[in-house]
Amino acid sequence: MKLIIAIVQDEDAPGLIEDLTEEEYRVTKLASTGGFLKSGNTTLLIGVEDEQVDNVLNIIEDTCKTREITTSLMTVTMPGDTYIPYPLDVKIGGATIFILDVEKYIRV
């Protein structure tokens, strides 16, 4: 038995939890951090059999992998307060994953 602790972006958490529960994995969501850390994280606890670890890692990677999106920020570029949309590539997503060995796992 392993305990997977996955720290993911708040935006990615609902989709990840849905994907995991669809495949019958049991997920516990810990409330996310206060505001003073950069952007909101969600910490998930996922208890899995040893042979399920790779599948869960694949699911996390599919949903949460760091990816680049192009966003449009408005910037002042001209006299007369004309705003021109300026395309910008930003990185979103990403996950930090710890896998711990579980000595004993019990459900009552």
Question: Under the rule (CB under 8 A), what is the footprint of a copy of itself?
Answer: 1-3, 5, 7, 14, 17, 26-34, 36-37, 41, 43, 45, 47, 53, 57, 60-61, 64-66, 94-108
Min. distance of Cβ 108 from Ni ion in angstroms? Answer: 19
1 binds Ni ion (CB under 5 A): yes
- Long-range CB contacts for residues 9-14, cutoff 8 Å, separation at least 24: 9/39, 9/40, 9/41, 9/42, 9/64, 9/92, 9/93, 9/94, 9/95, 10/39, 10/40, 10/41, 10/42, 11/92, 11/93, 12/63, 12/64, 12/93, 12/95, 13/42, 13/44
Min. distance of Cβ 42 from a copy of itself in angstroms? Answer: 8
- Partner whose binding site includes residue 51, from Ni ion, a copy of itself, none (CB under 5 to 8 Å by kind): none
Nearer to Ni ion, 1 or 30 (CB): 1
